A and B are shown apart, each in its own frame.
Chain A
Amino acid sequence: MHDEKSQEHSDSRNLTGQKDGTSRRSFLTQAMAAGSGLAVMGVVGCGWDTEAPAVVEAPEEMGDSGLPAGKDLNNFVRHSENPLALETRRQAFGASVVVPDELLFVRNNLPTPDPHIVEDRDAWELSVTGVANPRTVTVGELKSLGVETIATVLQCSGNGRGFFQHETTGSQWLAGAAGCVVWSGVPVRTVAEALGGVTEGARFVTGTGGEVLPEGIDSSEVVVERSIPLEKGMEDTLLAWEMNGKPLALIHGGPLRLVVPGYFGANQIKYVKDLAFASEESDAAIMRTGYRIRPIGEGGDPSQPTMWEMDVKSWINHPSGENRVQAGQVVIHGVAFGGTRSVRGVEISINGSQTWLDAPLIGPDMGRYAWRQFALELTLEAGAYTLASRATDDAGNTQPAERLENHRGYGNTSWRDHSVTVIVS
C-alpha cells in the first residue's frame, strides 16, 4: 500500500530538500518520496512577484441566523450556511496564543447533529473494535480511564485554497480556517489498553462521525470516517470531551472528538461514535478519494498522499491589510507553527523578500503542536508595504515561497500567498 512504501523511506526529504527525519506523513514528504509528479514551483529568485494573489470575494450574507458558541458574524467570513463554514478574519486573531471558542473557525462536512446529543454528554457512546475486548464505552467511562491535556493547532486542509489560481471547489478559505486550542480527554492508547490491547495486524485507527446520514445514499459516500496510522493513534491521539476549559461545544464536535495533534482537521472526527483498530484504511469516500494530494485535473485515488501531518506555516494577522496603518511605530504580529514540530524561528520581510528580519517569539510555548505568536516593532514611513512572514521548524524546514499546486487546493503554506499589503499613511 502506498503509505507503507512512503513510510519506509528513511531519508525522505521535504519540499525544500531538507532532511525531515521523523516525519513521513506530511503530504509534501509523501509526494516527494512517491515521485508523484506533482508540479512543485521552485522558489522564485530575488525580486517581488508582481502577480497579485487571487482575489476572493466574500459571499453575500445568506440571511440572518444565530451562530453557535457565541460567535459574532463580524469576526468571520461565512463561506456557506449548510454545512456551516465560518472563516476567522485575520484582524480578529489576538496575540494570546489560544483562540477562544467564539473566534474559532467552523467547518462541517455534514449538518450539525441535533443538540440533544450534548444534553447528557457522559451518556454518549463510543463503539471500540479491533481490540481484545471490543465493546461500547460511554464518555462517562472514558473519563474514569484518565485525562491528558494538549494544545494543538486545528487547521482545515483547505486553508489557503483561496490563493490558488485554478478553479477549485470547496470553501475559498484564506488564512482563517485555523486556530490554536487546548483539549482535554483520554489518550486512545489508554482506551486500547483498558480493552485488552490492539489486535494483531492492526495498522490504522479509524474514527467515524456520529452524524445522521441521509437516506437513499450509499453511506460510504458521505460518512465522515478517516483513518490515521496506528503509530500516531497510539502516540498522543486523544478522545477529547473538553476544549478551552469547557465541555466541548456541539459545533466543534461535542460531546466527543478525536484529536490528532499536528494533523489536519479532517482527521479529527467530530461526535466520534466508532473507533476501530483496523488492518486497512477506511474505504469511505472521504478517505479513499477525498483529501488526497494530486495534480490539477486528476481524480482522487488511495495511492496518492493523504492530508495527515501539517507542515511549517506562518502568517501575519496584524496589520491585516483591511485598514490603513498610521505611520510611525507599528507592531507586526502573527502566528507560526510546525505541524508536529516546534517552531525554531520566524522572519518578516517588508520589502518584497529582499531582506528578512528576525521576529521574536512572544508568549508561552504550549508545546510542539500549538502555535507561537511572533511580534516585531518597526518604524514605518508612509507608503505601501507587502508584509510577509516565513517560519522555520526545529528540523530546519522553512516555509516555502510557493504553494504546492494540487487539484483541490490543499495544504497551502506559501509565505508569498499569505503576505499582506498594507497602506501606511
Chain B
Amino acid sequence: MATLLGLLLSSCESAADPGDKELMDLGRSVFSELAVPSCATCHALREADATGSTGPNLDELRPSMERVRLAVSDGLGVMPAQSGHLTDQQIHAVAYYVARTTSSID
C-alpha cells in the first residue's frame, strides 16, 4: 500500500557524498532524456525546466522516493510503466532525483 509519508532511505547518499551528484545527474538524465516518454512531456519540475501539464506538477506533489519508484516502474492510470526499458538503477536515480529536488527528502 502506498502512503504519502517519505520512507526510510537506507540506500540514500548524504548531500556531502560525492556519489550524490552522480545520482542526481543520472536522475536528471532519466527524467529528461532516458525515460520514454520523457517525464518532462507530462510533468512540471522546476529543476529540470520541465513544464508538462498532463500529469501532476511534481514541485507541488512532492512525492516520496518510493512513490516515484513505484509509479515509474508500474505506471498508473495513463502514465506508462517504464520498467520495460529503464534499469533498476535508472529508476532508483530518477526517484531520488525527483524526491530530492522537490524536497520530499533532505
Which chain A residues have a beta carbon within 8 Å of chain B's beta carbons? Answer: 54, 56-57, 59-60, 62-63, 80-83, 109-111, 162, 164-170, 172, 214-218, 221-224, 285-286, 289-290, 299-300, 407-408
Contact: A222 with B74, CB < 8 Å?
no
Please name all residues of chain B whose beta carbon is closer than 8 Å to the beta carbon of A109 when the two chains form the complex: 77-78
Whole-angstrom distance from the CB of A18 to the nearest CB of chain B?
30
Contact: B1 with A54, CB < 8 Å?
yes
Residue of A nearest to B72 (CB): A169
Contact: A169 with B75, CB < 8 Å?
yes
Please name all residues of chain A whose beta carbon is closer than 8 Å to the beta carbon of B78 when the two chains form the complex: 109-110, 221-224, 285-286, 290
Contact: A81 with B1, CB < 8 Å?
no
- Nearest first, the 9 A-B pairs at minimum CB distance are A169-B76, A217-B37, A222-B78, A170-B76, A214-B54, A54-B1, A169-B74, A109-B78, A109-B77
Residue of B nearest to A217 (CB): B37
Contact: B56 with A80, CB < 8 Å?
yes
Residue of A nearest to B5 (CB): A57
Q: Which of B38-61 contact A (CB under 8 A)?
A: 38, 41-42, 52-57, 60-61
Contact: B77 with A82, CB < 8 Å?
no
Can you sample 20 A-B contacts with CB below 8 Å? A54-B1, A57-B4, A57-B5, A59-B4, A62-B61, A82-B56, A109-B77, A111-B53, A111-B54, A167-B2, A169-B74, A169-B75, A170-B76, A216-B37, A216-B41, A222-B42, A224-B78, A286-B78, A290-B77, A407-B74
Cα distance A408–B60 in the bound complex, in angstroms: 25
Contact: A289 with B42, CB < 8 Å?
no
In the complex, whether B86 has a CB less than 8 A from a CB of chain A is no
Please name all residues of chain A whose beta carbon is closer than 8 Å to the beta carbon of B75 when the two chains form the complex: 169, 290
Contact: A221 with B60, CB < 8 Å?
no
Residue of B nearest to A162 (CB): B1
Task: Specify which of B5, B52, B55, B77 lies most central, judged by the most chain A CB atoms within 10 Å of its CB.
Answer: B77
Contact: B1 with A172, CB < 8 Å?
yes
Whole-angstrom distance from the CB of B51 to the nearest CB of chain A?
11
Contact: A56 with B60, CB < 8 Å?
no
Cα distance A164–B56 in the bound complex, in angstroms: 24
**Given A162-B1, A168-B1, A83 and B81 contact (CB-CB distance below 8 Å):** no
Contact: A214 with B71, CB < 8 Å?
no
Contact: A172 with B81, CB < 8 Å?
no
Please name all residues of chain B whose beta carbon is closer than 8 Å to the beta carbon of A83 when the two chains form the complex: 55, 77
Please name all residues of chain A whose beta carbon is closer than 8 Å to the beta carbon of B4 when the two chains form the complex: 57, 59-60
Cα distance A166–B74 in the bound complex, in angstroms: 13
Residue of B nearest to A299 (CB): B81
Please name all residues of chain B whose beta carbon is closer than 8 Å to the beta carbon of A168 when the two chains form the complex: 1-2, 70
Please name all residues of chain B whose beta carbon is closer than 8 Å to the beta carbon of A165 when the two chains form the complex: 1
Selected from A62, A172, A285, the residue in CB contact (under 8 A) with B2 is A172
Contact: A217 with B42, CB < 8 Å?
yes
Contact indicator per residue, chain B 58-74, by CB within 8 Å of chain A (1) or not (0): 00110000100011001
